[in-house]
Structures are given as C-alpha cells and as structure tokens.
Amino acid sequence: MKLILIFSALFGASLCLETFIGHQVLRIETRNEEEVRKLQLLESLEHLELDFWISPSTPALPVDVRIPANSVQAVKAFLESHGIKYSILIEDLQVVLDQEKQDMAYSQQRERSSNSFNYGTYHSLDSIYAELDHLASEYSNIVSKLQIGESYEKRPLYVLKFSTGGNNRPAIWIDAGIHSREWVTQASAIWMAKKIASDYGKDPSITSLLNKMDIFLLTVTNPDGYVFTHTTNRMWRKTRSKNQGSRCVGVDPNRNWDAGFGGPGASNNPCSDSYHGPSANSEVEVKSVVDFIKNHGNIRAFLTLHSYSQLLMYPYGYKCTEPADHAELDALGRAAARSIQSLYGTTFTVGSICNTIYQASGGSIDWSYDYGIKYSFAFELRDTGRYGFLLPANQIIPAAEETWLGLKKILEHVRDNPY
C-alpha cells in the first residue's frame, strides 16, 4: 500500500495532477425531507470542500459525495449523529484513478504498436481530434469535419457532419462531454461516430435516415475542461473561463443556457460546481452551439450525453410543468429505454428532468425545446454509482452500444415523424 501511495504521489507530481489519496465517495440514503435539508446544509459548508456527484434533492434519490481525506471523519460523524444512513462506494479514490491511468498507458502502448484507434479506452483530446480527421478521410463520402467555434482557451470545437448531400436538410444534433469529467460520454460519442459512418449502406435504418436527414455530432463540447481532467484534476466539471472578482475558475456549461437562467438548481457562487455564470450564453462553448443551431435553422432533434445514473430525460428542468409534447416524448423515451435494455439488461429511468432528478435551470435541452426542437433528450449513461464518473474502460463499448440503440430508436422516430 505504501508503495502505491508513493507511486501515486510521484506520478501525480510528474504531471501536476491533483491527487485524491484517502478521498472517499459515500452513498447517502435519506429517509425524509428533514434528512435532505441536513445534507443541503452540509453542501453549503465550503470549508469541507465536498464534491457532490449526486446532489441532495428528494428522499427518493441517493446522494453521492466525494469527501477529501481531512473531512471524512467529520462528515461521517455528522451523518451518524443525525442517524443518516451511508455506505462507502469508493474507499480510496486515488487507487481507482491510478488504475484508470495505468489502463490508459497500457492501451496507448498497444495503439502505437498496432497503429489503430482503440474505442475501448479513454483518450486525450488530441487523440480524439486525430480520430475525427481519420473518420472524415476514411468515410469522406458522408463525413466532413466542421469547426463551429473555439473554447475559452482557444481550442477548436469540431463537429462531424454526416450527410449524403442536399441543402439545409432537416438534421439531428448530438453532443457529449459538456461536463468534462464524464469521460464515458466523449468515448461513447467517438464510438458512435465510427458506427454511423460504417453502418451507412449496411444498416437499412441508418441508410434511410441519412438519405433524408443530416447528423451533426460534437464529441467534446467542453475541450478546456476535458484537457484539464487529463493534466490537472480528473474531477473537473466546468469550463475554464475566469470569473471576474473571484479566484474560482469556470462555469457549469449546463446551467448557462437561456432557459430559466439563474433559477433553482443553479448557483450564483463562482466557486460552486453548478455556477451558472454571469449571464446566459456567457460561455463561448455554449454560445457556439446556440449560434450554430440558430444559423442552421432546421435542427429537428437535440440529444445530449451525460453520465452517470442511467436516465433518459426530456424537458423541463427549470420548471416542473409538463411540456406540450409530454405524452409523445414520454412514450418515445420509454421505447428508447426498452431498446437500451434489450442488449445487456441495463435499465434506464425515463421522465422529465424535474420529476426524475431535481429542478435545474439553464440546461441545454430546455433551451432547445423552447427554441422549437421538439425531440430534446438528455441521456445519463452508466453506471448507477459503483464507479460514478470513473467508469472502467472495459465498459466503454458496452455503454456506447446500448446507448446507441436508444439513440437510434429516437432517430428513427424523428425520421418518420417530421414536424
């Protein structure tokens, strides 16, 4: 164990990587509103430096929280003194991170020797971007790469366009990685890019879809945050923009859209992981997507990939009223969840954001729906908390395969139900 700790410290230091030695992830089960309020109080105590992976919202949902080593005892004592039940999901976060790093290094070595892209491992931004180029050249008949803007730190935002021609056809938007630590989403998106490209002409469903519609896929929505998770802090979620008058960096890009901006479920504290930013669309990554969609003018579905929790959600999050198309969206969500389950038995819960998790304002699918894009859905991929954001790489392809079946079900419905 001592050797592992020394290795972690050395390995971390060599890359300026923040280490998480002794950090624990607890799952807390609340029984009533009073216990939820106690956890919300805990969440407000900044000196504990808690990182809520699933925030306290309702007694029906578990709460997952990462606790720094020096706060572990205090938090457990607090929970025990109030009779709140908890279990340990991750005993020592650094051990899991070291394993992830080791797996990546091993895969990179194998990739170099075979000169091929391994979809079953996690990749750096440069490696993902190189694969986008490779797909655009290998499948140049239907795939092209567009730059729709650049990030705060001037990294390009690349979208793959899948199209068989025609002008301004109806189109589907898919994005991943808006929250940078949700690595299974960027990994799944690049797998899906290959799947769409290679299935055209073979899979009748994708072939007929692309003969009528285009698909736009943004594999890494928050490139600055993603690079930061590789170089500095694996648990980083936000963008990397500087906040005026604060030492804290970054905005939660999924609280920054112009949909109930600044309302419940978003923070006005720049140090919070759910900080909404100074104004709607203040983040260039969000504004680039908004501008692209507005300029295109014919986007018919807006699908976004997150992790974790195994959920398939439709609007609204900023309010708890049902959208006008509730019945259709709910039925379609349930059909998609059945398709997901058909492969490996993975169950997804379906519902509106507000009813499924909690009220959260400034989210992307609320904006897209209010903008007139009826088929707006957010997927929360594997798992339900065993590994959380640190899903082992051997689950990337199974997660991508099953999610793709759910996405495909939605794409077919969009193709067959023009509006």
Catalytic residues, which ones?
Answer: 380
CA proximity to 189, closest of 148, 140, 129: 129
Strand-pairing partners, residue 360, are: none
**Sheet with strand 311-314: strands edge to edge:** 143-150, 156-162, 214-218, 171-176, 299-307, 375-381, 311-314, 349-352
* Rounded Cα distance, 237 and 228, in Å: 9
192 contacts: CB under 8 Å, gap ≥ 6: 174, 217, 400, 403, 404, 407
* Rounded Cα distance, 3 and 1, in Å: 5
189 contacts: CB under 8 Å, gap ≥ 6: 174, 175, 176, 177, 217, 218, 219, 220, 305
Measured at the CA of 386, the angle between CA 339 and CA 376, to 5 degrees, comes to 40
**The residue type at 69:** A
CA proximity to 62, closest of 19, 17, 29: 29
CA proximity to 233, closest of 10, 16, 6: 16
